[in-house]
Amino acid sequence: MSLDIGHRLGPYEVLARIGEGGMGEVYKARDTRLDRIVAIKTLKTGEASRFEREARAIAALNHPNICTLFDVGADYLVMEFVDGKPAHGPLPLADALRVAIQIAAALEAAHGAGILHRDLKPANILMTAASIKLLDFGLAKIAEAQASDATTLEGSIVGTAGYMSPEQVRSQPLDARSDIFSFGAVLYELISGRRAFQGASLLDTLSGVLYLEPAPLASPAAPIIVRCLAKDQAQRYQSITEVRSALEALQHRPAQAEHSGPSIAVLPFANMSSDKENEYFSDGIAEEILNTLAQIRGLKVIARTSSFAFRGKEQDITAIAGVLHVKTVLEGSVRRAGNRIRVTAQLIDGSSGAHVWSERYDRELEDVFAVQDEIAQAIGERVREQLGPGELQPRHHRPSIAAYDLYLRGLHQMAKLSPESIARARELFLQAAAEDDQYIEPRLALVATEIHLLIEGGKPAALAVQSARNELRKVLAIDDGNAQANHWLGVITAIYDYDWPESARLFRRAIAASPDDHLLEARFGQFYLFPVEGRLRETTEAAAKLVAQDPLNVFARGVWCTYLNWSGEFERAEQEAQAALGIEDHWWVRQALAEGYTFRGLVEKALQQARAAVQMAPWNPRAMALLAGLLTISGHEDEAEPIRQKLETLPPWAMFVYSITVGNVDEAARWFRQSVEQREPYVVISGRSPRFRLLHESPHWPALAQMMNLPAHPVEPTRSLKARSTR
């Protein structure tokens, strides 16, 4: 070490040089005045602006996870000495979450002070036995200087390759979401022990940041990381506070119980045909195999929504198995050329990635059903040792290829869930049923479209129910014990007839025929157990089982969060909602959060989430109704009024939600009565919610309950927590 350095540093006795600090050298030293060990960072020639920036940034911050600035000189900084090691992985999930939450808290403090870090990487995060410390604000950008301070220094890119955001690589304007991308890269490395973006050269690494996705991780934190690392800023978390909340939700979530028996996820089969439009066909084959496997008693089969979420992504099978909590994964491909098909299938061990079984089938198109059955039968043989004897149910009918093709095209359209695609799907299902009148699957799909239109207000109840019943009569004439048909008839009997004994009989018959389909159990709770018998705990447990079977389904998670709120488990509901947002920032989850906060009387928090829900789904009456009500009770009547006027033109449930939210019980009762008369499904799905206690405890409720053949007594939350009035 140089004596000159010691001379320039005045009262600080230099003990050792400990490394480079980006803009200068770093020394371990003793403060002779206060007799404490400190770290000193010296300045390289020509780095005055960066030096001043770091001094101002650190001085503006006071947080236990950010290094403390003790002193500043003309060309050096004196900071607390942190005896730790860089934040490299791999770490156990619990440790990685603990570290990540502290990093997020430090960034939250920085962003709150208007400071972007811009160089977040493991080397700038030191882990000690007690906590982490965020270091090196040499590239920090202070909000007040953003208008004049470019994201480059003299035309060069700033940051560290592999951790920079795409906009940082492109030298575009930055905001907090750039640090969130870098945070995602750090968290990826903490969990996996490898860098998210690592090329053979600097240009390769930067190209990876811009255009490539990192290899999937076999970790429950994977959805959070994926969202942090979205190339598009709008698809990322919009604040580090949201990231921290999602991490805390994951940290406090109980460990998922291991499924003791065999389990499988069927991935969408790759379309190897020259015509890319044949994707519907390859998807359909995979889904048909999935549905066939679901018949095997005791075999856990992940639902389509979750297993098909990995379409088009780099296939790390062990990672997918980890996210979906399955022991095996089936993947494959389909090539269709004229009247010939080639199907390949591989069953893969989820823990090792080893092939358990594989086969190739070259057949005529008419043999596609035999191929599907052979694949399912082969997998059934593989699990026979664990499950014992159990035969796949034989097909009741092998449809014509033309009808089958129309049906698969309809499923492809239905999955898009837009009004246009559902209308197109309905046409295709009708054509498939007309092509082969013994083919029950398109008829059941038609019923699903009718119920969807009924619930979403896209079709009058009487017309939707009439169409659905016509199709169900035809299905039951062919297969009287069909689980799906009985379950749909149970739904209709509940929401339209209010014939509760018959609805319960149909649901129980459906569940007995398909006991491993947790969607049937969840709907039994939704349409009967809770509204009729008040069995909220069992309904909540059924929703949790469905989430386990379909873990990436944000709708299922939103329903579960709603029941948790109704049960008084507010903290758990909030944690699960944040976990769902880690999968996808979806309006339904925002709506569930808004309803939960409203139930608790936390109007400002509810308003924030309701605004987000309406921004994502401006067409949804329930989202608009809750927002209008919250705006009214929080004093924003001018903003609420045009929304309220629009609500009056919509089905009456929307105005019921608005009226009960503002505390106008008489008006709420009037709109509720109209909802019952028009057979709006939400009078059954949500009408007995403890959130609407003001109505249930009013003189209006006995007559309203009698209209639906329901008991008049209100439903108590499981933990007997009362909702606060929002008046």
Active site residues: 119
Structure tokens at 517: 């389909």
Q: What is the spatial distance between Cα 207 and Cα 188, in angstroms, rounded to a whole number?
A: 18
Q: What is the spatial distance between Cα 524 and Cα 2, in angstroms, rounded to a whole number?
A: 78
Distance (Å) of CA 423 to CA 323, 414, 416, 453, 618 = 33, 9, 11, 10, 20
Q: What is the spatial distance between Cα 236 and Cα 178, in angstroms, rounded to a whole number?
A: 10
Q: What is the spatial distance between Cα 375 and Cα 360, in angstroms, rounded to a whole number?
A: 10
Q: What is the spatial distance between Cα 586 and Cα 602, in angstroms, rounded to a whole number?
A: 21
Q: What is the spatial distance between Cα 41 and Cα 694, in angstroms, rounded to a whole number?
A: 63
Structure tokens at 147: 């208008």
DSSP 378-395: HHHHHHHHHH-S-PPPPP
Residue 644 DSSP one-character state: H
- Residue 463 sits at the vertex; the CA angle it makes with 462 and 464, to the nearest 5 degrees, is 95
Distance (Å) of CA 550 to CA 258, 556, 591, 688 = 15, 8, 20, 26
The per-residue b/e assignment along 599-615, b for 16 or more CB within 10 angstroms, e otherwise, is: bbebbebbbbbbbbbbe
DSSP 316-347: -HHHHHHHHT-SEEEEEEEEEETTEEEEEEEE
- Three-state SS for 284? helix
Structure tokens at 531: 């509204």
Q: Which residue has the tokens 């050298």?
A: 25
- Three-state SS for 81? coil
Structure tokens at 503: 């609805």
User: Rounded to 5 degrees, what are φ and ψ at 330?
Assistant: -105, 125
Q: Where are the beta strands (DSSP E) in 46-114?
A: 69-72, 76-80, 85-86
Structure tokens at 571: 């903290």
Alpha helices in 138-192 (DSSP H): 166-169, 176-192
Label the pairing between strands 141-142 and 156-157.
Answer: unpaired
